Structure 1
């Protein structure tokens, strides 16, 4: 595979799954101590990657679950954020400015802070009440953060008596890193063609529904815009028909991500509409990939993880094709803002 280290990938994703036992122990202790809610408080891309886990809890658990922006909470606070709150802060660098600023306030409140970081010797790596370190870099962090947050959500449901097959689900997730690697290999020949589609337009409407919508948002904002300077319009598939559809015409690129959860029909609605008005609809469907030994229930849960892993292959080809390394920035961490 182009510019890819297979063993590094397996090491990082296996490292994320290996955190399951300790994550479960910490969640159990927090709930036993009387935790009343959970906040997922990431910044930027890391925040987006928390959305599927937060959505899972909001829809399948009665445990109050919030997702918010640290930059806003520093200013406004929240009536729900108390000493009885569990707060999950993901930050690959461990130094994200807005999240570090929030940490001091969380200490004053007395909330229990779980930090998910790639580097321990950092403010967030040292500042959490419970620190989970799994080294990763930009090309491997998505799957790692998705997995860690999913494990937290499943653990909450388990200890509240809302999930009866936790052990089975985690056992399947332990096999996922190898399955993701196989998916990358299977997709490699298609990745170049997909990259050509992205390189062929300077504007893309990117859409999806359910737990793959955050990956559509993330890929548009954090990869195509930040790392490739390609303009995008991420829009949820249900909102697609409340404004964005008016921008669809011949030669307008529409990129559709399809997952395998209950919200798949919302994506299919876009899939049925768009070809009538543009000749540039491109669909990336997780159902097209084999995951031996992974149940339908887990496939639905890991659809955003599977999408992110094959999108990484597309990005690897795209940066070479456009002669624009994914590490190239004009402003991000380069100028004061």
Structure 2
């Protein structure tokens, strides 16, 4: 089923009376839905929205959830217990649920009114990944419900993003190798980002570095950097900054300016340098995290190689009871 058909189906729910859209998942799947959540926060005039880790959604279910609600739930395996339970709770409250998974036999699909089985593993077709899918559907829903008028620009962006990502991946190969060689013995990283990219700032820290490399990491919003975190800045601490294009770029630039003055270990991943400005400026900022995800996967892969620490190895996840 294509995205337009899903949009048509969910907008008809409750006779078209939709007042809120929620996003819930765990870990990387939760991060995948942050751009759509940020888009709604920024662009919706009447629709309210929320972004919840699944177990909190289950235990502290928003009272607004009901027949007037759309709830996106994503789980790569489709069997994450907290996410399956979140979808069940949402459905029981009368919401229409949209479930996304890589697994066509997933338990999540039992509680999904609309079912999306996405593709995975082809970094040259990011439009088929959940981050892009959820952003596309959400923008179309807002177009249907509130007349959001930048859908043509979004469509053009989705047509371009695969090429932009492919070119960016080629562009960063040498850079990511130098990064890994230089920082392979670092035990701790600070990750900065803003706007729609802050979700991946968080995701790169908790999933790529903490989960996959067993490294300490702290995500910091570029706008919050000067309200506490900058006090630990010195020449010995490594920083990775996702420099977005769009309205929050000045926040990133301010942090970078300070870091260049007081720090020495700085890696800047600049969306403009990597070609994202080929997308219309009215919507390009929402594509930042799609680009950053793919590019930073190269950083983590090179780091894993030089550290001889497979991205697949786990100590606790799926190994012990928790």
TM-score under structure 2 length normalisation: 0.92
Contact 1:49 1:142 in 2 (8 A): no
Distance 1:193 1:31 in 2: 54
Corresponding position of 1:125: 109
Q: 1:212 aligns with which of 178, 197, 203?
A: 197
1:143-292 equivalences under 5 Å are 144-290=129-275
Between the two proteins, the alignment pairs up a number of residues equal to 320
My pick for the range that moved more, 188-197 or 291-300, is: 291-300
Contact 2:36 2:134 in 1 (8 A): yes
Corresponding position of 1:100: 84
Going from structure 1 to structure 2, the CA distance change for 1:71 and 1:213 (only over 3 Å counts) comes to same
Distance 1:140 1:177 in 2: 6
Over aligned residues, Cα RMSD in angstroms?
2.2
My pick for the range that moved more, 262-271 or 148-157, is: 148-157
Query: How far is the alpha carbon of 1:134 from its aligned partner?
Result: 0.7
Distance 2:122 2:87 in 1: 23
Corresponding position of 2:51: 67
Contact 2:118 2:130 in 1 (8 A): no
Going from structure 1 to structure 2, the CA distance change for 1:161 and 1:107 (only over 3 Å counts) comes to closer
Corresponding position of 1:33: 16
Distance 2:95 2:208 in 1: 33
My pick for the range that moved more, 286-295 or 95-104, is: 286-295
Runs of 5+ unmatched residues, structure 2: none
Query: How far is the alpha carbon of 1:218 from its aligned partner?
Result: 0.6
CA offset digits 1:228-273 (Å, max 9, x no partner): 0111111111111122111111211111111112011111111111
**Secondary structure in 1 matching 2:251:** helix
Residue 24 (str. 1) matches residue 13 (str. 2) = no
**Secondary structure in 2 matching 1:160:** helix
Corresponding position of 1:47: 30
Query: How far is the alpha carbon of 1:166 from its aligned partner?
Result: 1.1
CA offset digits 1:130-149 (Å, max 9, x no partner): 00111325989987122012
Distance 2:166 2:122 in 1: 17
Query: How far is the alpha carbon of 1:291 from its aligned partner?
Result: 5.2
Query: How far is the alpha carbon of 1:302 from its aligned partner?
Result: 0.7
Corresponding position of 1:309: 294
Contact 1:120 1:126 in 2 (8 A): no
TM-score under structure 1 length normalisation: 0.88
My pick for the range that moved more, 286-295 or 219-228, is: 286-295
My pick for the range that moved more, 18-27 or 206-215, is: 18-27
Distance 2:307 2:293 in 1: 20
Distance 2:54 2:182 in 1: 35
Distance 1:291 1:245 in 2: 28
Query: How far is the alpha carbon of 1:321 from its aligned partner?
Result: 0.7
Distance 2:116 2:124 in 1: 16
My pick for the range that moved more, 210-219 or 31-40, is: 31-40
